[in-house]
Amino acid sequence: QAELGKPQRNCYTLPGYDFSYGLYSQRMDGGVPEAIGQWNTVKPRPPSVQNTARDFITMNRGALKAGYTTAHEFNLYYKAMDIRCKPEEYSHLKRDPPKVPADMTYGITTRPCTPFFDLIQHKYKELWMEQQRALTAALQEEKKKKREVRDTRTTLLRKQPLPAKEESFWHLPRLQKV
């Protein structure tokens, strides 16, 4: 029965303070001193035969030597002769690290220091001012080019009029061929 005037509880009661959550492992654990003292590392295992890729080049060569030519015969040969690639070729542990000179340093080189004398003389301000002056001069040149008036067909005809047409006398159309 729910208590009168109170909402019904929909949660579980928690265990006491002496209860520890999680699973207990039965291993001998020496804590931090044991972890610092020795390292339990996992030794790499070679990949199993099923994990390596199938060597289709060798299987195709063998099927051709056996005289098979159709796809069905090739599939039967693949099932009979399941040849896998050698695990040494695909092992990432067999690869050698790249040969690097002994005096090489990894990382990004540091930026050179800013010359303090240039800061005192305001050299960077002067360089910026020169760039701004050059930019404004280039913008003014563009504006001047835009202001130039282009010649229209009328002004071009006034400067160079078309040659006058030679007057030809009018003839009757029937007398044209004569």
Residue 23 lies in a domain: no
Please compute, for residue 93, the number of CA atoms within 13 A of its CA located in the half-sphere on the CB side: 7
pLDDT score at 8: 73
Listed residue (53, 129, 46, 126) closest to 93, CA to CA: 46
pLDDT score at 71: 92
| Location of structure tokens 């928690």 | 14
Q: What is the DSSP letter of 110?
A: P
pLDDT score at 95: 63
Burial grade of 52 (CB within 10 A; 0-12, 13-18, 19 or more) = middle
Strand partners for 142 = none
Residue 83 lies in a domain: yes
Residue 33 lies in a domain: no
pLDDT score at 70: 92
Count of domains forming the chain: 2
Residue 126 lies in a domain: yes
Q: What is the pLDDT of residues 33-72, one digit of tens each?
A: 777 777 667 777 766 656 778 889 999 999 999 999 999 9
Instruction: Determine the average pLDDT of the residues in 5-10.
Output: 75
Residue 6 lies in a domain: no
The domain in which residue 136 lies consists of 117-147
Residue 84 lies in a domain: yes
Q: What is the pLDDT of residues 109-133, one digit of tens each?
A: 888 888 888 888 888 899 999 999 9
Residue 59 lies in a domain: yes
Residue 110 lies in a domain: no
Q: What is the pTM of this model?
A: 0.27
